[in-house]
Amino acid sequence: MALNLGKAVVDFLTAHPEEKFSARQIAEWLVATFPDECSAKKASSQALETDADLLQQLVAEIGSQRPRLQKKHPSLKTTEGRPRKYYISEKSDSAEVAAAENVGVAAPVGKDDAKIGEHGLYPLLSSYLWAEFGVYSKRIDEKRSSNKRGPNGNR
């Protein structure tokens, strides 16, 4: 019986929810769990000569099947950094980000909750600029600007 790589990866991650694994860790598990299928794959391929070659091939196949697997299984998620980590999570993307950043504020759910005026966004922008880039932000007070040509005079 041939190894169904996509099903095996999803089954492994489902058995370990919320745990993050690299493609190499998953491939090592595949080799340990399905030794007969992996040795048959190695024997049928002309390019795979060693166990390390087989492991690298499995890692590449896991990475190449990621987009298809994520479309088929929306709970399959990956991290952005390298090496990419695979995991199963039932949380929404915004809840994942909030949990990763340890933000105590829940993400807005409805459209009415998401409406924040421009003046309410300046403190958020200012704190973001300071936290991420170490930059102090300043607002331009249009009443005190050097525009002597009237409204829209600076355009």
The CATH number covering residue 21 comes to 1.10.10.10
Q: pLDDT tier at 144 (50, 70, 90 boundaries)?
A: low
Residue 21 pairs in a beta bridge with 86
Would you say residue 65 lies in a domain? Answer: yes
Which range of residues forms the domain containing residue 13?
5-90
Would you say residue 116 lies in a domain? Answer: no
Would you say residue 109 lies in a domain? Answer: no
Angle between helix 51-72 and 23-33 (nearest 10): 110
pTM > 0.75: no
Quote the pLDDT of residue 83: 85
Angle between helix 5-15 and 51-72 (nearest 10): 80
Would you say residue 24 lies in a domain? Answer: yes
How far is Cα 27 from Cα 59, in angstroms, rounded to an integer? 6
